[in-house]
Amino acid sequence: MHAAKAKKPWLPLPPPLTAKTSIAASCPTSPSSLSWPKATPSLSWISPPSSRRGLAAVTLFTTPGRNAAFARGALAKAGAGDDDTAVVVELPFPDDGGHGAAAAAGSAEDVASASCFSAFIEATSLLRPWFEDALAASLLGRRARRPKAVVHGRVRVHAALGVPRLSFMGASAFTQVVRELAMRDKPGATPTPHQDGHPGSDDDASTDTYTVPVFPHLRFKLSEFAPMSASDIELHAKASAAVAASQGVIVNTFQDLESRYIDHWNRCIGPRAWPIGPLCLARYSHSVDDRVHAKPSWIRWLDEEAEVGRAVLYIALGTLAAIPEAQLKEVADGLDRAGVDFLWAVRPSNADLGTGFEDRVEGRGKGVREWVDQWEILQHTSIRGFLSHGGWNSVLESITAGVPMAVWPIEFEQPMNARFLVDELKVGIRIYTDGGRFSLVKSEEVTRVVRELMFGEEGAIVSASVKAMGVRARLPMLQGGSSWKIVEEMIGELCTAT
């Protein structure tokens, strides 16, 4: 039930288009993997390859401020908006409808903490009337610009509009499959026979582990699953219902990376998954043109490191997790002891990293307290390792860039990403806490893993593995590659469905 509507702002409709498939993408708050502030919606990356190839015109609905500005900037850099085949329409957040500060945030990076994230996602439902009205107005316009499909991240669309819907999932196929199976099996509860005929989890009942019946090589500690409140469970149910009612799921991954999990999703869960990534390869590189004479300080520093043959570790620990200052000081001390060269995207920008830390690491370490382009950094020749929280965008960018990871899962699905990265793909090394899920990571553990990643035998092995995988990751986005073909097939199917 929606709060009473205030007077809606005038929303500019997309300009008339030529006879080309039109797609409306609703991603008001979904962040990309730009290091903080993470504001460019992930779905905006779909626009450049689709419009440049003449496959579709895209209208991107998002929230004002940094989200809209970043989206327009990214599309302009990619040349996707030159002929009006990719436009941005803003949907301002209305009154909070009882969601308070969560709705007022308006963008994921403005959410106070991860614990508020569910309320923030729920608040995006307030955008639905605005979005549906704009979409309905577009449907009444010229047929050439009528949308053939809606891609939605959080805002659901009324089925009566008669436009096919695609869901966008920001997590990996691996995580989505494991999450769905765990929600079905309810690990830790009284064991019962599984729907697929596999025996119940009797062996796991007396332990703290969950063995995934369909994939018995996957064995998780129950602590790796984030505890879900009643509101979290309700939100998950709503999201699952929205996905189930859609005509497909767009996933930022590629077939070669997650084939067994994509295949399982398509056979047993559904609706069909469309792996069209890695979408980071669809992004414009800022360094090629406009930064030749105006490189940011962090790129200039990396260039200097490369000139003298120094290997650099990049550190970024995500946007949503509120990491205590005491923990950041442990990380700083661990980096100091490790003796590695490093570039650290520090968040929050006013964080105290310890007395004298920056003086002690001067010349080999640089802390950046401003926006940085993570994808550009990971592609730099001096970067030889990445200490990360293990968010999926960061994982996929690191793999595509061929950079091995020291992964420290903190929140959300990150422990599952860490398992996939370390145990299955074998392209990273895990950082362990001193105790439970949110316990402190000691400086000694940071030092141990960082030194192993940058100088050790295991680091050399995962580095070789990820470099080989990085080469394979670039193939799907080339002309004739798997993701290239899937985008064409997806849009062709949408055209026949309307």
CATH number of the domain within which 112 lies: 3.40.50.2000
DSSP state, residue 422: I
Q: Which residues pair with 140 in a beta bridge?
A: none
Q: What is the pLDDT of residue 197?
A: 43
Q: What is the pLDDT of residue 94?
A: 61
pTM to 2 decimal places: 0.82
Range of the domain at 93: 21-173+230-282+477-497
Does one domain contain both 427 and 457? yes
Q: What is the pLDDT of residue 87?
A: 80
Does one domain contain both 69 and 100? yes
- Tally of CA atoms within 13 A in the half-sphere of 442 that contains its CB: 6
Does one domain contain both 492 and 404? no
Does one domain contain both 303 and 272? no
**Angle in degrees, CA 472, 474, 477, rounded to 5:** 125
C-alpha to C-alpha distance for 155 and 124, rounded to whole angstroms: 6
Q: Answer yes or no: is 13 within a domain.
A: no
Does one domain contain both 161 and 307? no
Q: What is the pLDDT of residue 199?
A: 41
Q: Answer yes or no: is 1 within a domain.
A: no
Does one domain contain both 69 and 112? yes
pLDDT digits (tens, 9 = 90+) for 49-86: 555 556 677 788 888 877 888 888 777 776 665 566 77
Q: Answer yes or no: is 196 within a domain.
A: no
How much helix, strand and coil, in percent to the nearest 5, is found in the chain?
Answer: 45, 15, 40
Does one domain contain both 239 and 319? no
Does one domain contain both 246 and 320? no
Q: Answer yes or no: is 287 within a domain.
A: no
Contact predicate 418/390, CB 8 Å? yes
Alpha helix locations (H) across 186-296?
Answer: 202-205, 230-244, 255-264
Does one domain contain both 302 and 355? yes
Number of domains observed in the structure of the chain: 2
Q: Answer yes or no: is 275 within a domain.
A: yes
From the CB of residue 134, how many other CB atoms can be counted at a distance below 10 Å? 22
Does one domain contain both 323 and 433? yes
pLDDT digits (tens, 9 = 90+) for 267-280: 999 999 999 999 99
Handedness of CA 322, 324, 327, 331 (dihedral sign): positive
Low-confidence ranges of the chain (pLDDT < 70): 1-55, 78-84, 93-121, 138-150, 152-161, 190-207, 283-293, 320-321, 435-438, 497-498
Q: Answer yes or no: is 197 within a domain.
A: no
Q: Answer yes or no: is 149 within a domain.
A: yes
Does one domain contain both 349 and 414? yes
The percentage of residues in the chain with a pLDDT greater than 90, rounded to a whole number, is: 43
